[in-house]
Chains A and B, each alone.
Chain A
Amino acid sequence: MISAEGLRKVFYASRGLEVVAVKGATFSVDAGEVFGLLGPNGAGKTTLLRMLGTIITPTSGICRINGQITENAPDSIRKEIGFLSGNTKLYGRLTARELLRYFGRLYDMADPAIAIRTAELAELLQMHDFLDRRCEALSTGQTQKVSIARVILHDPKVLILDEPTLGLDIMTSRSILDFILLAKGRGHSIIFSTHHMSEADYLCDRVGLIYEGELMAVDEKAALLAGRGVNNLHDAFLSLVDERERQAS
């Protein structure tokens, strides 16, 4: 499970100019739950997820993965996390199989275990056709499948997925969304960000809306809709942003 308490990230641009990318986010994701992080580009989704994935350290606040505070042992905690974002690309000069073997070893897996797992994942994600092709020669959809395989290779309990369906066609998107549901069924804690409200509708138990670095609402989907008096996430989001803009002016 994932829990965040008052996570805050400040970047220093220049001469004391502080950019607060995430302004104190508090929420949690239970085992067997899919949490959707919704928000426009530049809202701070990626920064928040990077903190959860221990890629960067929070300026303040505490983040726990399966009960362990990430800052205390960021390196070993990553064994329990599968992290995917637009910035986690693949090594173009390795084949998909070589790539999975490389990452398997980095996750301290033994070679036979890696081979078995690779075969399993090739079956699950339908990757047989391109398993021995270099990653630079793969299509966007194939690349994303290899990326997903890379993320779940070591069977992590926590999945952090930053816009996993970005730029994919409907078919591939669907297979990835189905895969997320599958992982949920197996008791994984999943947080995923998107700006497709429909995907969130389809997958999520609870959602968080983030806007200009601020996590504005975290709630059960139904409760959120009821509270806002609207009938889809899209409207809920817009009404929250409107309200905030009004308060600001």
Chain B
Amino acid sequence: MRRRIVLTILKKELLDTIRDKRTLIMMVGVPIVLYPAMMIISMQAMLVQQTGMEDRTSKVAVMGEGAAQVKTWLKSVEKLEVSEPGDPAAALSSEEIDVLVKVEGNPEGVANGTGNVQIAIQFDGAEIDSRKASDRVEDGLRKVSEKLRDARLATAGLKPDFIEPLKLKTENVAPATKTTGTILGSVLPMLLILMIAVGAFYPAVDVTAGEKERGTFETLLSTPTTKSEIVTGKFLTVFALAMLVGLLNLTSMAATMAFMLNQLSSQLDKAIPVEIQFPPMAAVAMVLVMLPLSFFITAVMMCIAVFAKSFKEAQNYVTPFLMVLLFPAMLGSFPGVELTNATQFIPVTNVVLLFRELLTGSVTADQFFSVFMSTFAFALLALQFASWLFQREEVILSEDKGFPLSLNRKYFRPRASMGASMALGYFAILLIVLFYLASLVQQWDLIWGLFITQWVFLLAPTVLLLWFVKVDLKEALSLRRPPLAGLLGTVCMAASALPLLIQFDIYQNKVLPVPKEFEEAFAQLLSSGASNTGLFTLLFVVAFSPAVCEEVVFRGALLSGLRERLNPWVAMIAVGLLFGLFHLSIFRIVPTALLGMVLTYAVVRTGSLYTGILMHFINNAASILLATGSVQSWIDVSALEKDGLPAWALAGAAALFAVGVILVETGARNSRSPAPPRPQSD
């Protein structure tokens, strides 16, 4: 890589971006004009409301036989006005009065020194005025009560101290900086990440999809610059702008905040008891960590944006990433989540946690280092990926179909698959549906919920979508007869995959132990499911349904879509990973991803979805039979869990797996169905 060329590209891209009004307004205009304006206006409105509330007199009504006495007590309370509505309860709900006092008993005796009376204060907790009124009434009556109590004690010849053997006093010893630190620590990092992301957004889209749209990419590619020089130059541009805009936003926000606090204290006529103090070392550390973080965000955004062929399309792709970015950021701001050995390696989350702890002043150099390095490593990985994408001529010069612009089916052209970008988008939607709807129905009824999840949430929308965008179902879902050898091979692979996966689980359990509750819940599901509904139903819902529905989604719709962009081997890995992610559990990601890859392999090489369905069914059914103890008599599962599989069994399984692969390959060679395209050399 030649530095001079990279710098030339950087300079040109910066000039190009600065000359674009659209980018300039979003990047600079918004932070320095819009935020302060918005903040100050809302602040003013709040102030007006606040002072209004303090000045307003609360209206109170009193009910009960001893109301007269209580009214006289309340009349002495400041900013409280006793009113006499016809129907007090209705008056409270219609906000005619702010608070209703119910006297239960006669306070006459109380006033004269004996007995007691219960007084209920009713207020509307949803109304600020009502809450305030309730406080005023309660304070007033408590004072009356204390006065009466002291009088009684005096009559009895006792001092008020008599009834208070222990005098309690709590003191907050946290320095003001720490308190502010905690508050700032949960808000500031999120804001910072958002600001960096906003700063990176437009330039990232402009230098990738924007350049594609304007038709200048090929001009650039015709020069003797290498792809990595181009990526680096463009990346540095976006990175610089992201940092710049991030800092600009922060400064603007800090200035606005300072201005507001100033105004607040002058208007409320007292100092605000918040001490905004930044430990200087923390500020330095924050800027230091911001570097790899911006690096990471920038690189990921460019990876996403380069897939789009126009500015607008790229915006549609990158916006969801902004949302996704907020998840780990939020995770980091949850109370109780702390910087530990595990969390310091989760990208974005670790930075949020580090910022928080920096502001509360409890970070070790070690922690700082691991957050910095892991963020940097992820950033490098992302940049490497971007570089790889730029090497791919089908990405750089592609004219992918993407989502059809018109939703009128009449205008769609028949196609062989949904395409890569739609496949990824659809997968994201499925994940969300699974997360919300599926867990909802499964909570309502487990077996029916699982059934509905598979057939209604997975299969139906997939087939409907494929039909809607005019995808050839038979082609996209590989609904062909598999070659006999392939079918046999699949059975061999399915039979051997399960013991291998069990062994893998045992290994994984040592590194990442599955919580007992999790394991038990799963076993419970299967055994209670079996006893309540019968083994046959269980097999249908947990083995057959996923085998059909998940295969149609993953090895059908998603695989065919991704293969439009990726060569078959990369597609295999990608579909496997998506399949792993889809199971929404960290303990199952790796084994299910591995299984997903094997399933994808079988479908790709046999050219038939039926092999995937068969294999998936065998795998799930066998797991159920094992877990429900239907075959307990001849396999000792508990011993297995402890010691793992005996070596001979593993070797046998591995051998059977190999036989399966060979059979599948033989089938692939002999079959008439078109062999998948060979991976492109580049």
Contacts and interface: CB of A to CB of B under 8 A. Distances in A.
Contacts of A128: none
Contacts of A107: 223-224
Contacts of A106: 5, 8-9, 220, 223-225
B237 interface: no
A76 B224 contact: yes
Interface in A136-190: 150
Q: Which of B2, B12, B214, B226 has the most CB of A within 10 A?
A: B12
Interface stretch (A80-88, A206-214, A221-229, A236-244): A80-88
Interface string B280-293: 00000000000000
B676 A16 contact: yes
Range for the number of chain A residues in contact with chain B: 35 or more
Q: Which of A15, A76, A83, A85 has the most CB of B within 10 A?
A: A15
Q: Which of A13, A88, A107 has the most CB of B within 10 A?
A: A88
Nearest to B17: A93
A167 to B, nearest CB: 14
A15 B2 CA distance: 40
A12 interface: yes
B94 interface: no
Given A56-B393, A78-B224, A107-B224, A15 B218 contact: no
A76 B219 CA distance: 16
B41 interface: no
A94 B17 CA distance: 11
A57 B393 contact: yes
B219 to A, nearest CB: 4
Interface string B1-37: 0101100110010011001100000000000000000
A91 B16 contact: yes
B397 interface: yes
Nearest to A11: B394
Interface of A is mostly: loop
A161 to B, nearest CB: 12
B131 interface: no
A89 B219 CA distance: 6
A56 B224 CA distance: 14
Contacts of A17: 416
Interface in A52-70: 53, 55-57, 59
B497 to A, nearest CB: 25
A249 interface: no
B555 interface: no
Contacts of A150: 219
Contacts of B2: 108
B151 to A, nearest CB: 85
B224 A14 contact: no
B674 A14 contact: no
A79 interface: yes
Interface string B652-682: 0000000000000000000000111100101
B601 to A, nearest CB: 15
A14 B564 contact: yes
B677 A16 contact: yes
B215 A87 contact: yes
Contact of A15 (B215, B223, B393, B416): B416
A125 B27 CA distance: 39
18 contacts: A11-B394, A12-B394, A12-B680, A13-B564, A14-B416, A16-B677, A18-B677, A56-B393, A75-B226, A77-B224, A78-B223, A78-B224, A89-B215, A90-B219, A92-B214, A94-B16, A106-B9, A107-B224
Interface of A: 10-18, 53, 55-57, 59, 75-79, 81, 83, 85, 87-94, 98, 102-103, 105-108, 150
